[in-house]
Structure 1
Amino acid sequence: MTDSTLRPIADIADPQWEAIAAIPIVDDGMPLHALSLAAPALRVHPIYHALGVSGAVPECWAREAVYRRLLMVARSLPEGLGLVVLDAWRPYVVQRHFYDTLLRMVETRYADLDESDLRAMTRAFVSPPSDQPECPSPHLTGGAVDVALCDDDGMLLEMGSAFDEARPASHTVHFEHHAHDATTRTYRDRRRALYHTMWDAGFANLPSEWWHYSYGDQMWAWYRRESRAVFGPSSPDTLEKRWQRSLGLGD
């Protein structure tokens, strides 16, 4: 038993999206880095590409500050636990697909709810797609990451709900209130280890998803009480962009 598993996770306030969207962004210009280069300290499994999601990229890209903090987390977790990155920078087209798909399912399942409630339920698990400079989708910034825990052999550990599972058990603090046997206490302790190690490295957690953390985006700024976000919309470098820069053609 370690300190990070002994410390409960306090209830996390629900995000106030209007206030978050109003936080100014002053992008520091950090490029995206391929997280697979951090091996073997960090395990990377681009899950949406592996699942065949159209438009999903075969690499997990993140800003340098995120890259380095994830390495810090991987090296600070309790013995026997490893960090796996499942998703990071996400193209707009993929975000659009996820949001529209889940919204349609929620509308089908809860046909009696009004539009605002349906969209709120959807937003708890998928942010509305936006590539606007003043309020981009978190994953478009390169500051948001989806992570999980594994054992020394790289096997993903059970966390009490599957990654991307849209149900109450996915809320980060769920097992702080529903740990009634050895199995659920194990889920609780694993979430504690992940949460506290990520928080201590400077990340913020989306409370409806035990796997979603961010650094540098607007949600991070709101939870960490920063006056501004440092990451706006971004994208991996391309050969065309390098040629443009070398020829002085700008963007």
Structure 2
Amino acid sequence: MHTSSTDSSSINLAPIPSISALEWSSVSHIAIQDCGERLVPMSLAPSPIKVFPAYARLGIPGAIPECFVREGVYRALLAAARSLPQGISLLVLDGWRPWRVQQYLFDTLYEAILYHHPNATEDELLTRTSEFVSFPSRDPSAPSPHLTGGAVDVTLCDSDGLPLDMGTLFDEAIPASHTAHFELLGELSPPQQQARDNRRLLYHVMQQQGFTNLPSEWWHFDLGDQLWAHYGGHNQACYGPAELETIENRWRRHIS
């Protein structure tokens, strides 16, 4: 799934389209024909990509101190980063995610929503939770996107490595984190205009390399997984559930 880089002068900074809320049931029915690409660590990437494994730095149980993605995603991220204007870099926050981490994030957000809305029904709680964290699934036919290595969380940073203002923080589970949030407001303050423009830049450089965006999260992009197939209009996904290559598994396969 290699894609070529794009000259920064051709970046489209048009308004981000507003897309209706996702129906996960329509995504889980998309066929998967895994292409067999390996998971590779983003720390191998040269400038202008920076890597900050956010969940490991936050001490989340089971999180790994690296951001792994499928090889096609790795190359597409490099192409996106190289298309950015001078002085701006792509900052990778998360990629492949162990199932344990997915379960922890889902449960933690679920409990937080329940705390603030104690009278909410189970369906309401699940709907609100899955707006920002997909249901933990290792089902080969319907895996959580981050378990495939095709989903990646990214933002932009300046030449000093500091994240640009995107209007909300990464993983801030509020309506303002919806990618097109600032496109739907009236008159914007100067900081809001800057956040809107930063989102537009991120959205379009990623889109130009074949990624699709999850509309409820400005930071979440997909390539090759079922979400990508759904939003990109593809007949099937090419990334199913993935596991890290371990020395134990390698020895078991090759020692006779």
Check whether TM > 0.5.
yes
TM-score of Structure 1 vs Structure 2, range by shorter chain: over 0.9
Question: Over aligned residues, Cα RMSD in angstroms?
Answer: 1.5
Aligned-partner residue type, residue 69 of structure 2 = A
Unpaired stretches in structure 2, ≥5 consecutive residues: 1-7
State the SS of the aligned residue for 2:31.
coil
Trace 1:208-247 onto structure 2 (pairs within 5 A): 208-247=216-255
Matched, 1:174 2:181: yes
For residue 26 of structure 1, what is the amino acid of its counterpart?
Q
Q: Could you say if the C-alpha distance between residues 2 and 166 of structure 1 is closer, same or farther in structure 2, counting changes exceeding 3 Å?
A: farther
What residue in structure 1 maps to residue 213 of structure 2? 205
Matched residue SS, 1:235 = coil
Structure 1 residues 169 and 5: alpha-carbon distance in aligned structure 2, compared to 1, 3 A threshold = farther
For residues 202 and 5 of structure 1, do their structure 2 counterparts lie closer, same or farther at Cα, with a shift above 3 Å needed?
Answer: closer
Please state how far the C-alpha of 1:4 moved relative to its aligned partner. 4.1
Contact preservation (8 Å) 2:13, 2:204: no
User: Cα offset for 1:5?
Assistant: 6.3
Unaligned runs of 5+ in 1: none
After superposition, what is the alpha-carbon deviation per residue over 1:1-49, rounded to whole angstroms, capped at 9, x for unaligned? 9764641111123222111000011111111001100032310000111
Task: Tell me which of 30, 43, 61 is aligned to 2:50.
Answer: 43
Alignment check: 8 A CA contact 1:5 1:190 kept: no
CA contact (8 A) 2:49 2:91 kept: yes
| CA apart distance, 1:119 | 0.7
Percent of residue pairs bearing the same amino acid type? 49
The CA deviation string for residues 142-190 of structure 1, in whole angstroms up to 9 with x for no partner, is: 0000001100111111110000001011000011123512111100000
Q: TM-score when scaled to structure 1? A: 0.95
* 1-structure distance, mates of 2:235, 2:22: 16
Q: Which runs of 4+ in 1 moved over 3 A?
A: 1-6
Q: 1:121 to 1:2 in 2, by over 3 A?
A: farther
Deviations 1:61-87 (A, max 9, x none): 000000000000100112322100000
SS in 1 for 2:113: helix
Q: Hey, what does 2:64 align to over in structure 1?
A: 57
Shift of 1:243: 1.1
